[in-house]
Chain A
């Protein structure tokens, strides 16, 4: 399915993406640093659109905006490039992995410092990983490190005494053989583990600043930093200002003097502020796309996210395979993207976006679960409701905002017109939605997944295996379980990807909880004078690598 206007320019985009990669590669020669474009002048201040962070503790936080800011003020062992490859950041080369795949040895660059001048060495990385595993820090992304020996036991010991926690901490198999050598021992060989070493749960923690592994992460201007920028000011509800890190040594110093992130909840307000010249970079909401998509300063980037119609399989009605198929096949995803999103999303029947390593070919499931009116009606008849007769009704749970409301109404209308059945819509706020989804208190819902790291595994493991922690839709399929389990520790990449593709095929074609609808996109307006901003697949709220940004020379 390539009806998205941006996809009509697919060759151009592909060429652009390759150029971006080449530019990145060119910028990353040597020790892995990167530098602003040569045409940028040294210095300058910019103001960009952002939201207010909940926490800048990389071992705890999960919110999109938190991770965005953390990418600006912290760096880990590796940078994860848009194509999924690793570029050493504080690591001095790629990890050395033992023959059995269990022990990872990573050399850390020497002479590195935190923003406040504190020495940054292997012990800080040990401390950081220990924090993520710490039960009192209670990090959202601890499950990413579940394969590090002892991490789970320590993390789940919330009720343990201080002494017991100290004992469990010693059993977490991360250590510093010396100041510059980090050693990690896994419980099982994990092919994707190197990728995890580029993510925020493995970022370092300043062991001299923090009194203990569970100490509160300093905030405001005291927030530790080892990235190109440091927090210089945080005004609650208003803005956060970043200034250059004087001790940044992973590449040339950043070009910009300051980046001010203005907290703006409403994308339309941010757009008006950009138009009046108060912002240099702004995220654009889908509702504003028709106003800006033809401008030369408009930039778009597909996101690693899929939104779908979620079926609660614990519900007797939706346990019916034919009914799920009828609902999926009654949705014209192309029309959906056009009407609801002004073509700002990519209609899909794939669960895993094509850019993810290990994904299936785009459109491969169109013929099975995609829009087909005759097939939808036949499936509904097979489900026992010919032309919708006798259908008891079902309720769609969705977040109450303008876009999702339109989505829900589109689906309601599609099911009424195409199948002759009525669905009710239950709109609730985001937190209520999350709570009800988590408790299984829904029949149908609109929800999806954004990857934590680029690999098909992250789209399946934990979401579709029986009893998995995030499998709130109640998917239970022995073949899916077997494929995911086999892939988890498979060392041969080709075999692993084949297993994951099979797992996705089974999950999608059996509609095991999700009928994929679309992949989301990020849309920006970027001041033409602001150079070096490269939207990537790994972005959160804003593009990464602000050390490459600079203002055009006059």
Chain B
């Protein structure tokens, strides 16, 4: 197992290099540069600005320069205020992670709860209610939900704030968390329900019932544990996506998270931040997948890695 984990971690290096290389060349292939504003500037000015930021060098020289710095763990500077990209990532990630973890807990808790209740009450009102909620949650885009929630609960009722994020301040936490967690909650609920129904129809459950075990014991000890594998498969990526930020929710609540930074940097052709956030996202997703694979082995003793 340890050897497997080490190999997986070592594989991250060429994988991240490949991702960074593709991103670097794609990013420079897109028309327009970081200072190609809509208000035109004289060509001479453009040349001077390009020289200031080494954008006048060939693409391969820039590539070499970037990877030389990267090898020294220097992610460079943002074109926006010459800020350190690492600091931008760190500050953004702290906010996105707080929002993401809270949303994940809500989504996973409610989603799994709803899925289990639906499965245990199959074809009964509770099941219909659960499926209805999950379907609505899956069908409702977060920008619509966030807008409605804001208008009702912030503008009209004044219970919560429209802007920003402050951990521990419920006025700034509730609406973003609800907006971000509804979609994954619905997805988790559907997967949990399906997985639970599958597990509940297995022979070992029938055997457990025949042995006279209580339903609570059957569900917690036997069914749920076996139903967890497909649920874990989706929880990993959902966790990775949530903690790395949702551009839409961060945009609609003006939250300074990493998702908003990423999209803003793409729009602004802020090459340093684009590269930094891409590498960061890639690292998080690869790590999350590794953790999920490890979790498989923990949950299912039949799975062994060599």
Residues of A within 8 A of B (CB): 52-56, 62-63, 135-140, 142-143, 155-156, 158-159, 216, 219, 234-238, 262-266, 269, 272-273, 275-279, 399, 428-439, 441, 447, 449-450, 462, 469-470, 472
A431 and B151 contact, Cβ closer than 8 Å, known pairs A135-B48, A470-B42? no
- Are A276 and B161 neighbours in the complex by a CB distance under 8 Å? yes
- Is B269 on the interface with A (CB-CB < 8 A)? yes
A435 and B261 contact, Cβ closer than 8 Å, known pairs A266-B252, A278-B162? no
- Are B161 and A263 neighbours in the complex by a CB distance under 8 Å? no
Stretch of B14-22, B80-88, B278-286 lying at the A interface: B80-88
CA distance A376 to B48 in the complex (A): 44
Partner of B155, one of A275, A279, A431, A437: A275
- Are A276 and B260 neighbours in the complex by a CB distance under 8 Å? no
Partner of B43, one of A399, A450, A469: A469
Closest to A263 in B: B254
Query: Majority SS of interface residues in chain B?
Result: loop
- Are A54 and B49 neighbours in the complex by a CB distance under 8 Å? no
Residues of B within 8 A of A (CB): 30-49, 51-52, 79-83, 87-88, 91-92, 150-151, 154-155, 158, 161-164, 251-254, 256-257, 260-261, 264, 267-269
Query: For residue A264, which residues in chain B have a CB less than 8 angstroms away from its CB?
Result: 163, 254
A469 and B36 contact, Cβ closer than 8 Å, known pairs A273-B162, A278-B162? no
Name the 6 nearest CB pairs between A and B, nearest first. A469-B42, A237-B256, A435-B32, A431-B32, A434-B36, A238-B256
CA distance A468 to B162 in the complex (A): 47
Q: Which of A53, A272, A447, A462 has the most CB of B within 10 A?
A: A272
Partner of B42, one of A143, A265, A266, A432: A143
CA distance A553 to B53 in the complex (A): 49
CA distance A145 to B232 in the complex (A): 63
Query: Majority SS of interface residues in chain A?
Result: loop
Query: For residue A429, which residues in chain B have a CB less than 8 angstroms away from its CB?
Result: 32, 267
**Whole-angstrom distance between the Cβ of B165 and the nearest chain A Cβ:** 9
Query: For residue A470, which residues in chain B have a CB less than 8 angstroms away from its CB?
Result: 40-42
**Whole-angstrom distance between the Cβ of A432 and the nearest chain B Cβ:** 4
- Are A434 and B154 neighbours in the complex by a CB distance under 8 Å? no
- Are A142 and B45 neighbours in the complex by a CB distance under 8 Å? yes
Query: For residue B87, which residues in chain A have a CB less than 8 angstroms away from its CB?
Result: 236
Query: For residue B150, which residues in chain A have a CB less than 8 angstroms away from its CB?
Result: 272
Q: Give 11 A-B pairs besides A140-B49, A237-B88, A237-B92 with Cβ atoms closer than 8 angstroms.
A: A53-B81, A62-B37, A63-B37, A136-B52, A140-B35, A216-B82, A263-B256, A278-B161, A433-B32, A434-B40, A436-B32
- Are B45 and A435 neighbours in the complex by a CB distance under 8 Å? no
- Are A276 and B252 neighbours in the complex by a CB distance under 8 Å? no
Query: For residue B91, which residues in chain A have a CB less than 8 angstroms away from its CB?
Result: 235-237
- Are A432 and B51 neighbours in the complex by a CB distance under 8 Å? no
Closest to A264 in B: B254
**Whole-angstrom distance between the Cβ of B251 and the nearest chain A Cβ:** 6
- Are A140 and B45 neighbours in the complex by a CB distance under 8 Å? yes
Closest to B47 in A: A158
Query: For residue A449, which residues in chain B have a CB less than 8 angstroms away from its CB?
Result: 39
Q: Which of B31, B35, B79, B154 has the most CB of A within 10 A?
A: B31
Q: Could you name 11 residue pairs across A and B whose Cβ atoms are closer than 8 Å?
A: A140-B35, A159-B51, A236-B91, A238-B254, A263-B256, A266-B254, A276-B155, A431-B37, A432-B30, A432-B31, A434-B37
Query: For residue A265, which residues in chain B have a CB less than 8 angstroms away from its CB?
Result: 251, 254, 260, 264
Closest to B164 in A: A238
CA distance A215 to B11 in the complex (A): 42
Query: For residue B52, which residues in chain A have a CB less than 8 angstroms away from its CB?
Result: 136-138
Query: For residue B44, which residues in chain A have a CB less than 8 angstroms away from its CB?
Result: 143, 155-156, 469
**Whole-angstrom distance between the Cβ of B60 and the nearest chain A Cβ:** 20
CA distance A278 to B164 in the complex (A): 10
**Whole-angstrom distance between the Cβ of B271 and the nearest chain A Cβ:** 11
- Are B49 and A138 neighbours in the complex by a CB distance under 8 Å? yes
- Are B33 and A435 neighbours in the complex by a CB distance under 8 Å? yes
Query: For residue B38, which residues in chain A have a CB less than 8 angstroms away from its CB?
Result: 399, 430, 433-434, 437, 447
- Are A138 and B162 neighbours in the complex by a CB distance under 8 Å? no
- Are A431 and B81 neighbours in the complex by a CB distance under 8 Å? no
Closest to B53 in A: A138
Partner of A272, one of B30, B40, B42, B151: B151
- Are B80 and A138 neighbours in the complex by a CB distance under 8 Å? no
Query: For residue B162, which residues in chain A have a CB less than 8 angstroms away from its CB?
Result: 269, 272-273, 276, 278
